[in-house]
């Protein structure tokens, strides 16, 4: 198609907009996206059948609440990180702990604890006990007390509480407030990876792209404190075969900490082998 014809079509669909009405930002973004779409439809000769398939696909993805998964799988969240990393680099900012994506499964309002939290509302049977601790520091390496470390991960079925009604609300979701030395610690278990619902919209699209819809085992974090910018990040569980094959593109090599595995004897010596209590 002639570019002039495409441009005239774009002009036609914007012609009904009344100056000074509506929202300028929404107008700008919508019109740009439609312009890019029309150009793609022309360049790739996209048929009416293909467009209706896309329409029905999106309808179904919405019905099954999979837009968040598509957002991750199509790399949109990753691109936002690429953009923020680039902006930080331009400003000479270097994060000591890299950022990575939030994912679609965060829920605000998790129970809050000082210094230490047990993430399990109900004990996960047959799991490998996991302790993680650390210090929240500012850009000069000084500890930040009263920082909030929000942590969430899935159970051994790869499911997240709230989205999975078989778990108590906020199971495996906690907020930990750092102590006077900036320290936080939590007790949980080693989670497993996540897989998009088989046969669902995202899984189907991933297959059509010659991809899979799975994530390696990981734990999510928000780290925030008054007057500081919030960090959104994750860690990966070392040794997961999908560590560098994540459908959501979230793995960063610096975010795969070494896990020290202890025998029961060794664990006993640390005093950290007590059965789950609470
Ligand atoms: C997840 O657990 C997740 O973190 C992302 C990004 C996408 C799907 C499931
Ligand atoms: Fe996740």
73: Cβ contacts below 8 Å, ≥ 6 apart? 196, 202, 205, 206, 211, 213, 247, 248
Q: How far does the centroid of ligand 2 lie from the alpha carbon of residue 268, in Å?
A: 31
Residue nearest to atom 1 of ligand 1 (CA): 103
Q: How far does the centroid of ligand 2 lie from the alpha carbon of residue 6, in Å?
A: 41
What φ, ψ does residue 255 adopt, rounded to 5°? -110, 25
What is this model's ipTM?
0.97
Q: Any idea where the domains of the chain sit in the sequence?
A: 3-46, 76-270
- What is this structure's pTM? 0.95
Residue nearest to atom 5 of ligand 1 (CA): 103
**pLDDT tens sequence across 58-85:** 999 999 999 999 999 999 999 999 999 9
CA 67 to chain centre: 13
For 68-84, letters b (16+ CB in 10 Å) and e give bbbbbbbeebbeebeee
Domain spanning 76-270, CATH class: mainly beta
**pLDDT tens sequence across 72-129:** 999 999 999 999 999 999 999 999 999 999 999 999 999 999 999 999 999 998 899 9
Q: Which residues' Cβ are closer than 6 Å to ligand 1? A: 69, 72, 101, 103-105, 194, 215, 248, 250
β-strand partners of 195:
214
* 61, 102, 104, 201, best to mutate for ligand 1 pocket (most atoms within 8 Å of CB): 104
DSSP characters over 187-251: EEE----EEPPTTSHHHHHHHHTT---EE-SEEEEEEE-TTSPPEEEEEEPTT-TTTT--TT---
**pLDDT tens sequence across 130-183:** 999 999 999 999 999 999 999 999 999 999 999 999 999 999 999 999 999 999
């Amino acid at each position: 198609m002639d570019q002039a014809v495409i441009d005239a079509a774009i002009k036609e669909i914007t012609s009904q907009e009344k100056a000074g009405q509506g929202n300028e930002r929404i107008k700008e973004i919508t019109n740009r996206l439609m312009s890019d779409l029309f150009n793609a439809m022309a360049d790739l000769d996209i048929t009416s059948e293909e467009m209706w398939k896309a329409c029905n696909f999106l309808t179904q993805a919405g019905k099954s609440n999979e837009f968040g998964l598509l957002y991750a799988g199509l790399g949109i969240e990753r691109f936002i990180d690429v953009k923020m990393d680039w902006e930080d680099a331009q400003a000479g900012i270097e994060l000591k702990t890299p950022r990575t994506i939030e994912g679609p499964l965060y829920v605000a309002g998790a129970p809050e604890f000082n210094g230490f939290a047990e993430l399990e509302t109900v004990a996960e049977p047959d799991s490998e006990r996991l302790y993680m601790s650390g210090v929240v520091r500012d850009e000069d390496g000084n500890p930040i007390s009263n920082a909030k470390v929000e942590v969430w991960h899935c159970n051994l079925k790869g499911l997240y509480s709230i989205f999975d009604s078989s778990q108590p609300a906020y199971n495996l979701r906690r907020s930990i407030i750092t102590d006077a030395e900036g320290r936080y610690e939590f007790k949980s278990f080693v989670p497993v990876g996540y897989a998009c619902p088989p046969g669902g919209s995202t899984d189907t699209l991933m297959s059509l792209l010659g991809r899979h819809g799975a994530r390696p085992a990981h734990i999510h974090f928000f780290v925030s404190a008054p007057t500081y910018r919030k960090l959104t990040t994750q860690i990966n569980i070392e040794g997961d075969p999908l560590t560098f094959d994540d459908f959501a593109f979230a793995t960063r090599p610096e975010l795969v900490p070494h896990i020290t595995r202890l025998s029961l004897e060794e664990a006993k010596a640390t005093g950290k082998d007590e059965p789950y209590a609470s």
